């Protein structure tokens, strides 16, 4: 039986030109390819925005068909201790590259490396700079020690824009013969929040159930409430109709199985689209922040969200 590759791999760009929504970053990386040289790199940004893909595309362009012989990928969250730097990374770094001037070691989730491992890595990056270049990928650059950051050219990856995500899901829909409605496209863009991997996985999960994909199916798959329903609940509370807002909250909790934190995040997103003055928006965001802290500290989510709606009614 043939096992098909996952969509995330099937539609992963193979060359730098295919990376969407990253024009400035692609331009900088292509300059390294043209010069056949590069410094150590640090890719920082949220999940699913193209950090790993950019590293793989850069290696393919630099080394050609047999790029994998000069490329080693290590997930630092799995192997995060000092021994992985002393043994696995050093053993690969000290050998000469095949058909090129240097090798590339890609450390994914480098912010999970322990402080001891990072301190061992800083010296390794200097000792083997002639034979090896490092690409470090992380979600939070602040967790990478300053000596390593100063040795790297830093690339800041932000969430992908709507145009890039729309272009990719339309391409997939066409190739996979899916009927993706306009409302379905908007729903995928909403739930993905700039994360391409999340957008593709949501579309794939929906495609397992139906070939005709609309917003109802997307929100059901993603376990998120429709923005209009969240907005209705907020408006009811602001109008002083607390019991109706509370009933709406019960519907959301039962229908979508959302957690308290999920509802708070969606409420926070919808506050800024309300037709109210800025002073009220400031008060609402302040109250949401307070109740989010309470949930993080372990308070009962239903009581806290009902208390939040009560404060909205007072405001």
User: What tens digit of pLDDT does each residue of 19-77 get?
Assistant: 877 788 888 888 888 888 889 999 998 988 888 889 988 888 888 877 888 888 877 66
d(CA 133, CA 93): 8
The SS3 of residue 77 is coil
12 in the same domain as 106:
yes
78 in the same domain as 111:
yes
pLDDT tens digits for range 197-224: 899 999 988 988 888 888 888 988 888 8
Q: What is the CATH number of the domain that holds 102?
A: 3.40.50.300
The answer to whether the beta carbons of residues 130 and 158 sit under 8 Å apart is: no
Helix %, strand %, coil % of the chain (to 5):
60, 10, 30
Q: Is residue 134 part of a domain?
A: yes
Helix axes 227-238, 301-314, angle to 10 degrees: 50
Full residue range of the structural domain in which residue 212 is found: 162-222
Q: Is residue 258 part of a domain?
A: yes
Q: What is the CATH number of the domain that holds 177?
A: 1.10.8.60
214 in the same domain as 279:
no
Strands 71-75 and 152-156: unpaired
pTM: 0.82
191 in the same domain as 71:
no
Q: Is residue 1 part of a domain?
A: no
């Amino acid at each position: 039986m043939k096992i098909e590759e996952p969509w995330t791999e099937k539609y992963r760009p193979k060359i730098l030109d295919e990376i969407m929504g990253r024009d400035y970053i692609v331009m900088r990386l292509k300059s390294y390819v043209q010069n056949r040289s590069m410094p150590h790199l640090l890719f920082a940004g949220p999940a699913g925005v193209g950090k790993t893909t950019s590293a793989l595309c850069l290696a393919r362009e630099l080394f050609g068909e047999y790029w994998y012989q000069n490329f080693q990928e290590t997930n630092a969250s799995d192997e995060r201790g000092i021994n992985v730097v002393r043994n696995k990374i050093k053993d690969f770094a000290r050998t000469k590259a095949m058909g090129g001037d240097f090798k590339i070691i890609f450390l994914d989730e480098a912010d999970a490396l322990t402080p001891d491992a990072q301190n061992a890595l800083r010296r390794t990056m200097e000792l083997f700079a002639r034979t090896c270049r490092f690409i470090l990928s992380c979600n939070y650059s602040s967790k990478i020690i300053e000596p390593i950051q100063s040795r790297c050219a830093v690339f800041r990856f932000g969430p992908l824009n709507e145009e890039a995500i729309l272009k990719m899901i339309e391409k997939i829909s066409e190739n996979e013969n899916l009927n993706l409605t306009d409302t379905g496209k908007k729903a995928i863009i909403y739930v993905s929040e700039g994360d391409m991997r999340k957008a593709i996985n949501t579309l794939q999960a929906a495609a397992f159930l139906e070939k005709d994909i609309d917003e109802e199916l997307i929100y059901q798959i993603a376990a998120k409430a429709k923005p209009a329903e969240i907005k209705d609940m907020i408006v009811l509370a602001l109008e002083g109709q607390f019991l109706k807002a509370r009933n709406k909250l019960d519907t959301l909790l039962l229908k979508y199985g959302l957690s308290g934190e999920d509802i708070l995040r969606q409420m926070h997103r919808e506050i800024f689209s309300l037709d109210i003055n800025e002073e009220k928006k400031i008060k609402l965001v302040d109250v949401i922040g307070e109740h989010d802290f309470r949930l993080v500290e372990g308070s009962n989510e239903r009581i806290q969200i009902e208390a939040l709606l009560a404060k909205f009614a007072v405001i």
